[in-house]
């Protein structure tokens, strides 16, 4: 297959994915922005003023990186899982699978759409945070790389969820019972140094903890975990989940009836 054909296929999928979530922006972009604004008001202004400082920063400044990352995680995941499952449910995904397009092009196309939505929502939440706290970036390179890799990771995870989902209820099980608890327990609203030693060890098994702390390090320059370990964990999950997704696409498991 020529490079032009691969490029055209990739561009078509990416344009479709971006057009899809921008066309229905009141459902895809606006709700996360409103939700995060409420978090800033309730946890930052109302509760944060009573908590005081954390790790040398005001509570509002401390939770801002976590809230931004939480919006990126949920948005990138939701975009791919809903889009891919909708195509599978309507059986239009079969047109892509039988086309002479490499499976990695399909994966990259859908993931790019998820990343685009995740980063857009993250940017909007970052702008909103400026109205509540003086947002500054301590290390722009680390901040950019972490948020990009995290969006890629959860876009891939959303695709795996969509592959195994049999109905629309199935695409909400993982976000509700797995993703949300792990995000809330991933250090968004607190430092794990406040926990007893045993629970600190338990928290280290939560992969989202590494992503949030790595992003907080890029923004504020503080972290509860080793940054090198955080990058290793993120890249490891991307490699494993990405390979698993390609295998599922090649075998057609959960896709071809």
pLDDT, tens digit, 9 for 90 and up, residues 232-249: 999 999 999 999 999 999
Percent of the chain with pLDDT over 70: 98
Classify residue 228 as exposed, middle or buried by CB count within 10 Å of its CB (0-12, 13-18, 19+). Answer: exposed
Rounded-to-integer distance, Cα 67 and Cα 47, Å:
15
Nearest Cα to Cα of residue 255 among 15, 20, 90: 90
Evaluated on CA atoms 147, 152, 156, 161, the torsion sign reads positive
- Listed ranges 20-24, 90-94, 252-256; the one with the highest mean pLDDT: 20-24
Query: Which token pair is 37?
Result: 């604004």
Rounded-to-integer distance, Cα 161 and Cα 56, Å:
39
pLDDT exceeds cutoff 80 at 48: no
pLDDT exceeds cutoff 60 at 257: no
Rounded-to-integer distance, Cα 256 and Cα 131, Å:
49
Residue 131 pLDDT level (bands cut at 50, 70, 90): confident
| Cβ–Cβ < 8 Å for 234, 153 | yes
Q: On the CB side of 219, how many CA atoms lie within 13 Å of its CA?
A: 24
Dihedral angle computed from the Cα positions of residues 127, 132, 133 and 134, in that order, rounded to the nearest 10 degrees:
50
Tell me how far CA of residue 191 lies from CA of 6, 128, 154, 172, 203, in angstroms: 45, 23, 23, 28, 11
| Cβ–Cβ < 8 Å for 53, 59 | yes
Query: Which token pair is 56?
Result: 């040398």
Give pTM, 2 decimals. Answer: 0.93
Q: Tens digits of per-residue pLDDT, 52-71?
A: 778 788 888 999 999 999 99
Q: Tens digits of per-residue pLDDT, 4-21?
A: 788 888 999 999 999 999
pLDDT exceeds cutoff 80 at 97: no
Tokens 């629309």 correspond to what residue? 168
Percent of the chain with pLDDT over 90: 57
Q: Tens digits of per-residue pLDDT, 189-234?
A: 888 888 888 888 889 999 999 999 999 999 999 999 999 999 999 9
Q: Tens digits of per-residue pLDDT, 145-188?
A: 999 999 999 999 999 999 998 888 888 888 888 998 998 889 89
pLDDT at 5: 80
Mean pLDDT, all residues of the chain: 90
| Cβ–Cβ < 8 Å for 117, 75 | yes
């Amino acid at each position: 297959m020529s490079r032009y054909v691969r490029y055209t296929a990739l561009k078509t999928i990416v344009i479709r994915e971006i057009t899809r979530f921008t066309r229905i922006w009141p459902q895809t972009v606006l709700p996360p922005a409103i939700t995060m604004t409420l978090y800033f008001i309730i946890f930052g202004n109302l509760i944060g003023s009573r908590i005081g400082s954390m790790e040398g920063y005001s509570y509002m400044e401390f939770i801002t990186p976590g809230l931004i990352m939480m919006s990126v995680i949920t948005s990138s995941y939701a975009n791919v899982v809903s889009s891919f499952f909708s195509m599978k449910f309507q059986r239009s995904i079969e047109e892509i699978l039988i086309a002479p397009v490499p499976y990695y092009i399909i994966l990259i196309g859908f993931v790019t759409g998820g990343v685009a939505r995740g980063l857009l929502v993250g940017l909007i939440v970052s702008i909103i945070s400026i109205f509540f706290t003086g947002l500054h970036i301590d290390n722009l390179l680390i901040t950019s790389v972490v948020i990009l890799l995290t969006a890629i990771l959860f876009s891939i995870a959303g695709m795996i969820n969509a592959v195994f989902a049999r109905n629309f209820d199935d695409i909400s099980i993982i976000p509700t019972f797995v993703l949300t608890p792990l995000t809330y327990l991933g250090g968004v609203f607190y430092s794990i140094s406040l926990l007893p030693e045993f629970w600190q060890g338990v928290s280290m098994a939560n992969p989202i903890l590494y992503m949030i702390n790595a992003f907080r390090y890029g923004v504020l320059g503080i972290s509860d975990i080793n940054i090198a370990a955080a990058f290793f964990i993120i890249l490891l999950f991307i490699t494993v989940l990405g390979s698993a997704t390609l295998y599922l696409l090649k075998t057609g498991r959960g896709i071809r009836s």
